[in-house]
Chains A and B, each alone.
Chain A
């Protein structure tokens, strides 16, 4: 396969070039739908956001160029740094969910019959309406009547206002975020697990390796490309967290909202509630850079831990 693809195609010059030129145009024509979509839906919005971030954009009427003003405001804006810290903390909590997903995935893999039931159970949050998820978790976390505090009371532990108390809000959201992301992560990791040859486990158990040892010395290294992929996706989506906050705190006169805004929530608030689109655009660009740096960093780090057979 590879030899065929990489082999340089030797064309007789002259006679064939007349044909290859129009075929190049055909190629462009075929990729045009995708390219146009990409330009219209990704490239153009990106360019326009970038331009807006250097402008003062009123709700209506002409924008004025203000240079780096939006960015300098942003650096001095305590709200932005608070949001940045919240997003970073949330991302770290979400990352803690990945080892959990790896363990769960390998446990599910060992289930013989009924494996599908577990997959469905863990996948349900992915296909559930976010609003419904928000409502259920609001009930679980409710300080007065919540399920969590009720269970804690069995052990004599005093409950807390998990969502309303800003000391706990981000952690409480982190738990929901892990739970919501589990379904997708288990699918990706499950596929990775099935690619690991069973013979390795058989051979190692003949050599006397136990389950735990197999997990750390066979499963984890051979699954590392999938784990890496899951990590990249999780970090990106965690840095973009908005929906949970929006569903669980919005509209309610919530005392915790001031202290628990994430970067994307701040962006929404500036651009669409306060009509300050230029500043909103600057936040979006900074977030993009943060995500790019975080992803580049992970690609750099993967060299030391990801094992591509």
Chain B
């Protein structure tokens, strides 16, 4: 580890800028050795997190960062139990849909002062992401990365069907027409994948139809409104026309795998698949991405991971210093260079774009301009879990979309009405 630091001395100069900042603000020049833990749930991103931690340690020799990676299902239960019992990691990844519970419960370190004293400009982060980590006017996490959605497509299948590639002029109608032409039951190829996917699917189309997912004050959902129904119908129509694998097929073989196996020609989803497609030698030359098609307007939901600190940490000053570093350019650049995620810090995404030049990944960055935060009102994990139960009959064609949407809306509203 130590050798690695020495090898990376060159980059340390840049890091020095940030530490000079935070060093000046800290009024406790203690030199005692402090160890902070930093938890995440991604094996893929763990090396980048360790690299960031090493970078920080180099500039702050008295602070040691221990990076912990927990599997996804254990992450939240461990964090919750740890926070309640006073043993949570010092710094950890946060998601918008869990954020409110933690902020409301007073478990997160208030970073508002840190932002002022470190002169962190919140405008460098995509606003929908930074907004989702603000609670009652206070900032509790700095955005680490973000994701928007695009239309992934398979050029080889488009060529075979003689269909023009998608571009930024495409509307819903273009997608529907293309899906029809691309579907070839004899070859086992479908035009598009239409699973019940909130973030990559129907949330976007509802917004594109001019609707809301949850109304602005978070008291009720909007699925049964004309726009809500139109947004859901976009997908159920594709299902009814047989232009997508059925829900059962998509249950057995996930949409992304269908796309990877070149069974579907189009797949709307996030930037997070880029590296996986790029590393797949069968796909690298065949795949590209376009902006999501427009409905009444252009829209995509966006969300991102935030780096938060535990309010019960024994070393709040050092922790604030570390969190400020995590929100800075150096940490963003390390992430971008690994190609795993799209860093939230404005202007640091270039290494990410350059790492996969064959894909038009700029569409994900351009999408920030028309992005809307992923709705997280109320007990988000509870009402989000209701979608498959209520929407499956509509997707399977067993219930009219209007009826399924109404029942879905009622069930979600019931959860939102609690407390």
Q: Which residues of A contact B (CB under 8 A)?
A: 58-61, 138, 141-146, 161, 163-165, 246, 250, 252-258, 269, 272-276
Contact = CB atoms under 8 A, between A and B. Distances in A.
B417 to A, nearest CB: 15
A255 B379 contact: no
Given A246-B73, A255-B392, A275-B101, A142 B385 contact: no
B24 interface: no
Contact of B251 (A58, A161, A272, A276): A161
Given A59-B101, A272-B76, A275-B80, A253 B252 contact: no
B195 interface: yes
B247 interface: yes
19 contacts: A58-B105, A59-B102, A60-B83, A60-B104, A246-B73, A253-B195, A253-B196, A253-B251, A255-B247, A255-B248, A255-B251, A255-B392, A256-B251, A258-B388, A258-B392, A274-B379, A274-B385, A275-B80, A276-B382
Contacts of B381: 273-275
A67 B379 CA distance: 23
A257 B388 contact: yes
Contacts of A274: 379, 381-382, 385
B197 A253 contact: yes
B392 A138 contact: no
Contacts of B196: 253, 255
B28 interface: no
B112 interface: no
Contacts of A58: 105
A143 to B, nearest CB: 5
Given A161-B248, A273-B381, A274-B379, A252 B106 contact: no
Nearest to A273: B381
B254 A258 contact: no
B236 to A, nearest CB: 14
A143 B248 contact: yes
Interface residues of B, number: 31
Contact of B102 (A60, A145, A252): A60
A144 B190 CA distance: 14
A276 B385 CA distance: 14
A272 B252 contact: no
B31 interface: no
Given A60-B101, A250-B73, A269 B252 contact: no
A98 B184 CA distance: 48
B105 A61 contact: yes
B389 interface: yes
Contact of B250 (A163, A253, A269): A253
B62 interface: no
Which of B76, B104, B248, B249 is the most central at the interface, judged by chain A CB atoms within 10 Å of its CB?
B248
B254 A273 contact: no
Contacts of B280: none
A58 B106 CA distance: 12
A141 B252 contact: yes
B226 to A, nearest CB: 26
B105 A60 contact: yes
A174 to B, nearest CB: 18
Interface in B46-83: 73, 76-77, 80, 83
A270 to B, nearest CB: 9
Given A60-B84, A161-B248, A163-B252, A254 B388 contact: yes
B183 interface: no
Interface string B218-250: 000000000000000000000000000001111
Contacts of A246: 73
A153 to B, nearest CB: 15
B253 interface: yes
Contacts of A258: 388-389, 392
A269 B385 contact: yes
A246 B77 CA distance: 15
Given A60-B101, A60-B105, A275-B379, A253 B385 contact: no
Contacts of A161: 248-249, 251-252
Nearest to B104: A60
B252 A142 contact: yes
B249 A252 contact: no
A163 B388 contact: no
Contacts of B76: 272-273
Given A144-B252, A274-B379, A275-B381, A255 B388 contact: yes
A269 B384 CA distance: 12
Contacts of B251: 161, 163-164, 252-256
Nearest to B415: A274
Nearest to B389: A258
A59 B196 CA distance: 29
A281 B74 CA distance: 18
Interface string B325-355: 0000000000000000000000000000000
Contacts of B105: 58-61
Nearest to B200: A253
Contacts of A250: 73
A165 B253 contact: no
Given A60-B101, A269-B385, 14 more contacts: A59-B80, A60-B107, A141-B252, A164-B247, A164-B251, A250-B73, A253-B196, A253-B255, A255-B196, A255-B251, A273-B76, A274-B385, A275-B80, A275-B379
Contacts of A143: 248-249, 252
Which of A60, A138, A146, A246 is the most central at the interface, judged by chain B CB atoms within 10 Å of its CB?
A60
Contacts of A253: 195-197, 250-251, 254-255, 388
Contact of A144 (B73, B101, B249, B388): B249
B178 to A, nearest CB: 23
Interface in B243-288: 247-255
Nearest to A257: B388
Nearest to A249: B251
Nearest to B382: A274
Contacts of B392: 255, 258
A22 to B, nearest CB: 39
A61 B389 CA distance: 31
Given A254-B388, A269-B385, A273-B385, A145 B253 contact: yes
Contact of B248 (A61, A138, A164, A272): A164
Which of A254, A255, A269 is the most central at the interface, judged by chain B CB atoms within 10 Å of its CB?
A255
A250 B73 CA distance: 10
